[in-house]
Chain A
Amino acid sequence: MNAQTEYALRFGDNALVLAQRCAAWVAHAPIMEEDVALANVALDLFGAAKLWLEYAGEIEGAGRDADALAFHRDSGAFHNVLLVEQPNGNFADTVVRGYLYDAWADLAWQALARSRDERIAAIAAKSAKETAYHLRRSEDWLLRLGDGTDVSHERAQHAVDELWRFTGELFWGDEVDAAMTAAAIGFDPASLRDPWFARVSTALGAATLTRPADGWMQRGGKQGVHSEALSYMLAEMQVLPRTYVGATW
């Protein structure tokens, strides 16, 4: 697979996996408004995933469309970061996971909107607007849970502590990132770390949450090495099109 195809798949898979996670909250959210919000966020992310996967399929040139890429790949062929595949857990786990991703995605779209690849620049410019709105909500919730009741604070802090080790991968680059940065198509992941760290640190402080000490970071998702959580999620997401190949509505 060429670097540009894999690059597009990474962004598409991030959106797809997080969309599926958010969608699993539908009919289970703590309040009606959040049920609607999580469904809407999922919808935006599914839409973005479709744009990225369609493009990845076109660059690859092997005849795979967005559906083929979404439903007929196993976990080892997914290139999303580990953060987005982490299980939904409780509402605080979901809020914190979404916030850490949104704060990164907001910066990533700004960087990609300047891409020399016009299609990537267009998808990023489109996503930037939607992510800015998601970030507004997830940051609001981070504040409400962190600076809320003793229970909500404790759960939000636990979520931050548990998820922190997956944030390093967002800023870690490999040869695909290097090739795309050299071609002025992509960005150096490390360049987003300072602005992300500044924003997240401020928000955690305002939410009376403690930022975990820098430590060992888990990575591998971008290269297709995932936690088992992704396999279970994909099994549910893919069962219908894999059981009834070619089924249509």
Chain B
Amino acid sequence: MTTQAWAWLDVVPDPELPSVTITDLGIVRDIREEADALVVALTPTYSGCPATAVIEEDVTRALHAHGVTNVRIERRLAPPWTTDWITPRGRARLHEHGIVPPAANIANGPVVSTIVRCPRCNSGDTTELSHFGSTPCKALFRCEACREPFDYVKPH
């Protein structure tokens, strides 16, 4: 049952980054069967991310649609989510959709000096326009070579 549930959640899109799924982002931490319910442990990306509640509803709805009537959502804070939880498939999908995935392996601290490459022309000549972007997880960049503005997932 849990293997099946992982497969069902593997296609649930993230509400704010619909080109990737919630499993691509590493938001689903654990699925386990308990006597009264199927328990899904989710972790928030950012503390105040407004998508958190929507993701909980989407997970419940997806499982209900597959006949799982008793679903319990558990919020798990530790260990905290980092962009290292984004899977290789998730990183590839983000890039395909013009959103530059974060520098990998940030476990040793925030990365501030990594070269961010343009998703359109691959130039490394890019400028950070804003530390923050259209969602809590992104910053706004511009490519100085082709002038394309693009989103960058904040290394976190």
Residues of chain A touching chain B, judged by Cβ–Cβ distance below 8 Å, are 33, 36-37, 39-48, 50-51, 118-119, 121-123, 125-130, 132-133, 136-137, 140
Contact = CB atoms under 8 A, between A and B. Distances in A.
Interface stretch (B15-23, B41-49, B116-124): B41-49
A48 B78 contact: no
Interface of B: 44, 46-50, 77-80, 82, 110, 112, 129-134, 136, 140, 154, 156
Contacts of B47: 44, 47-48, 50-51, 126-127, 130
Going nearest first, the 3 A-B pairs with the smallest beta carbon separation are A47-B48, A47-B47, A33-B130
Q: Which of B50, B80, B136 has the most CB of A within 10 A?
A: B80
Nearest to A19: B48
A42 B134 CA distance: 14
Contacts of A127: 47
Given A36-B132, A126-B80, 14 more contacts: A33-B129, A33-B131, A36-B140, A43-B46, A48-B47, A50-B47, A50-B48, A51-B77, A122-B78, A125-B77, A129-B110, A129-B156, A130-B47, A132-B110
B110 A43 contact: no
Contacts of B80: 122, 125-126, 128-129
A33 B132 contact: yes
Nearest to A138: B131
A133 B136 contact: no
A136 B131 contact: yes
**Majority-rule SS of B interface residues:** loop
19 contacts: A33-B132, A36-B130, A36-B132, A36-B133, A37-B131, A40-B136, A41-B132, A44-B46, A47-B46, A48-B48, A51-B77, A123-B77, A125-B78, A130-B47, A130-B156, A132-B110, A133-B110, A136-B110, A136-B131
Contacts of A128: 80
A36 B44 CA distance: 21
Contacts of A50: 47-48
B135 to A, nearest CB: 9
B27 to A, nearest CB: 14
A173 B146 CA distance: 55
Contact of B50 (A33, A43, A48, A132): A43
B48 to A, nearest CB: 3
Contacts of A44: 46-48, 136
A133 B156 contact: yes
B131 to A, nearest CB: 5
Contacts of A36: 130, 132-134, 140
Nearest to A51: B47
Contacts of B133: 36
A133 B48 contact: no
B2 to A, nearest CB: 24
Contacts of B49: 43, 47
Given A44-B48, A46-B48, A133 B131 contact: yes
Q: Which of A33, A125, A129 has the most CB of B within 10 A?
A: A129
A127 B156 CA distance: 11
A43 B154 contact: no
